[in-house]
Structure 1
């Protein structure tokens, strides 16, 4: 019998293979489908016990038009599963009508319940999570202990997936708590990185960048990506954007600030509602390209709605998803060349040729070019010679506190006290998805 059960499991594992975390719920569904088919049952499900005196169906497999599916809750005392756990009913029931206590449960006649097999699901710490169950509406006296062995074996597989999901849930909750704490406790500083004219060398604006508490070990990209993973992406971005707008008052006359926004945030409509108060000419919205865009028409329409208050830039052109479609479909005012194109451009013929091609393209569509990641005079000179308008990078200025950036743009000497990072208020969270 053990060899046959092992064979059943081996066949299932060969068919399913390793399952990524996000698909483990699907794996439980497939386990239930396999069990139901193998045992000739009409229904198979996993349930869990929840707060109070209820149980919830988490996964359901059946070809029948059942009145309830996954997510349905009911009193646990109305179920076979609970009474099996309590020892009032056996795990293997060939015919529920033959057991007086089983016959007294309303579900026995409502469904009806004929043959019923059940395994309580116990986690590694010994606690009972719920039940793994297979049943049919008719009795089956040919069901055996071997079939119970099969159910037990597949229940163990289900427990492995459940344990993994619960562990991931703990991690996800920790991330959500950390992100919420950063917003609640204002654990962010805001910095500006100046953007300079490659022709005159003078600063023309800044990009607003975020610095989280662990800035020395992790970049802000990770915070925004993790926020998106736990469903707080929009909240964290909008929190940061509102803060970036609060720093506009530090800009000298004629200078602009650039903030980053993901396509999802732009499509949400919240950014449009926020920017109507911003003076025109003061702001550039950089469309970050770290996620695939599924609705270009909607994104283009949303950006047109922002155009009264802000110019539109495409960030990191030449890297990731920021390809030709970003540039063609979104009608940007500014193209920001990724440092992968500008780094060593004075030495690399391919980078030089690609950057030169972007100059011609930008001229055709009426867009300005900003070269990112400039680190030496030779790069700046080569890019200026091509006809690129603006640049930013360590050659001109590192990201710096708002007060230092203001003095930098005014051409004033820096003061010692300006070296300290600026701790921002509840409505002054910095916005950036780049280090």
Structure 2
């Protein structure tokens, strides 16, 4: 009988939309690693000279041997040899196989059972490899196991190619924009609701008209797996903003789950800036492992950062984020704010949020405030802070801070 996890991985995970691509890869890797009792599973992408480890799923508790977005010379690994049919796709004990005995990977750490299949585009070009291995020999691995990996590689290849065709991605334009920092930083004020004094700002990114709208640019970056690179580049350019920011004010910055997990925040932000930064977890990417992201948030808090959940109320997952991750700041979506003064159910819901925030020592910021009546209703509930066009529109940061 086919397990429900197997059916889910074959069907529900393969839906359209660039925002789902990374999530799909991670779900497939986790399923394959756990189902076949492997220690590491990964998806690699080939460039002309390198293989890039796009996604990696490792057995919890084991020392990390491969990390997401690591790179290595293409000719020095298992992947290129298997892709060229120079080595078998299934090896029950790779460490004893003469085909890979000369490779540094074989010598550096033990590799026993190994399955690796190419992800091939309709043109015949090899995108990369879907691979999993264990640290001990696996004589139980059979051809039927290889067939499962092959099926998933075909589905991933179809998905990657379909998305690229659907969105007609201009990789060169995006890469040029990232390399040249072709974006603009704006600030929108966050205000205390009682007296409407500015207590902080949210950093927002804008792009030239020929590049596209902000939402479209980030969607394109997600599709090309450039989102972390783009968010890192934006973070690198906030030093001037933080240096100009008046004492006593904080700065909110948006980051995806992948960026929060992968970026070197100690390098990006010196200690004297961290206490003023609130890192907002955005809704653009699913959280698949709350334990892992929770541990990462604990690390970031220990470094001095505060954590916020953005757009709470815009979807069910944002409520789950609040319950699982217990953020320092809860940012309520506009959908919970609009005409709150006329809605007793909304007042009741926000009262619950306020009680939750008090119990967990969190701060609530109401987003999208457009009417004075909304400020009055929110203040009456004890909600301290808010932002929106009524309180201040986004403007270039040099114009705001001088």
2:284 maps to 1:290: yes
Q: Which residue of 2 aligns with 1:324?
A: 319
| Secondary structure of the corresponding residue to residue 188 of structure 2 | strand
> Residue by residue, what CA displacement relative to the aligned partner does 1:74-133 show, whole Å, maximum 9, x if unpaired?
8xxxxxxxxxxxxxxxxxxxxxxxxxxxxxxxxxxxxxxxxxxxxxxxx9xxxx979xxx
Matches within 5 A, 1:192-211: 192-211=187-206
Displacement after TM superposition at 1:256 (Å):
0.9
CA contact (8 A) 2:164 2:223 kept: no
Residues of 2 paired with 1:169 and 1:316: CA distance? 28
Correspondence 1:20-419 to 2 at 5 A: 71-72=83-84, 169=164, 174-214=169-209, 219-307=213-301, 308-406=303-401
Gaps of 5+ in 1: 1-15, 23-50, 52-67, 75-122, 131-161, 408-435
Q: What's the TM-score once normalised by structure 2's chain length?
A: 0.58
Asked whether the equivalents of residues 257 and 284 of structure 1 are also in contact (C-alpha less than 8 Å), the reply is yes
* Alignment correspondent of 1:95: none
Separation in 1, partners of 2:253, 2:163 = 33
Q: CA–CA distance in 2 between the matches of 1:278 and 1:224?
A: 29
Cα distance, 1:169 vs structure 2: 5.0
Deviation readout 1:186-221 (Å, 9 max, x if unpaired): 321110000000122100010000001139x95422
Equivalent pair of 1:290/1:320 in contact (CA under 8 Å): no
* Deviation at residue 380 of structure 1 after TM alignment: 0.8
> SS at 2:216's partner residue?
helix
Coordinate RMSD, CA, aligned: 3.3
- Which residue of structure 2 lines up, in the alignment, with residue 154 of structure 1? none
Contact 1:269 1:302 (8 Å CA) reproduced? no
- Contact 2:174–2:221 (8 Å) recurs in 1: yes
The worse-fitting range, judged by mean Cα deviation, of 361-370 and 269-278 is 269-278
Change (3 A) 1:21 1:372: closer
Contact 2:341 2:374 (C-alpha < 8 Å) held by counterparts:
yes
CA distance in 2, matches of 1:260, 1:377: 27
Question: Cα 1:356–1:167, aligned 2, differ >3 Å: closer, same or farther?
Answer: closer
In structure 2, distance between residues paired with 1:129 and 1:305: 44
1:398 match: secondary structure: coil
C-alpha contact (below 8 Å) 2:186/2:396 kept by paired residues: yes
Q: Secondary structure at the match of 1:279?
A: helix
Unaligned runs of at least 5 residues, structure 2: 1-10, 18-47, 49-79, 87-121, 126-156
- Distance in 2 between residues matched to 1:284 and 1:166, nearest whole Å: 37
State how far apart, in whole Å, the 2-side matches of 1:129 and 1:266 are.
35
How far apart, CA to CA, are the structure 2 residues paired with 1:285 and 1:163?
A: 35
The Cα of 1:300 is off from its aligned counterpart by 1.0
* Counterpart contact for 2:340–2:377, Cα < 8 Å: yes
- The structure, 1 or 2, with the larger RCO (C-alpha pairs under 8 Å, 6+ apart) is 1
Contact 2:281/2:309, CA 8 A, preserved across alignment? yes
Distance change >3 Å, CA 376–CA 218, structure 1 → 2: farther
Secondary structure at the counterpart of residue 360 of structure 1 = helix
Q: CA-to-partner distance for each residue in 1:333-374, whole Å, 9 max, x for gaps?
A: 110000010111112222222122211111111111100000
Deviation at 1:383, TM superposition (A): 0.6
Give CA-to-partner distance per residue, 1:8-50, whole Å, 9 cap, x none. xxxxxxxx9xx9789xxxxxxxxxxxxxxxxxxxxxxxxxxxx
**Structure 1: distance between partners of 2:314 and 2:163:** 31
Supply the distance in 2 between the matched residues of 1:214 and 1:353 (Cα, whole angstroms).
Answer: 42
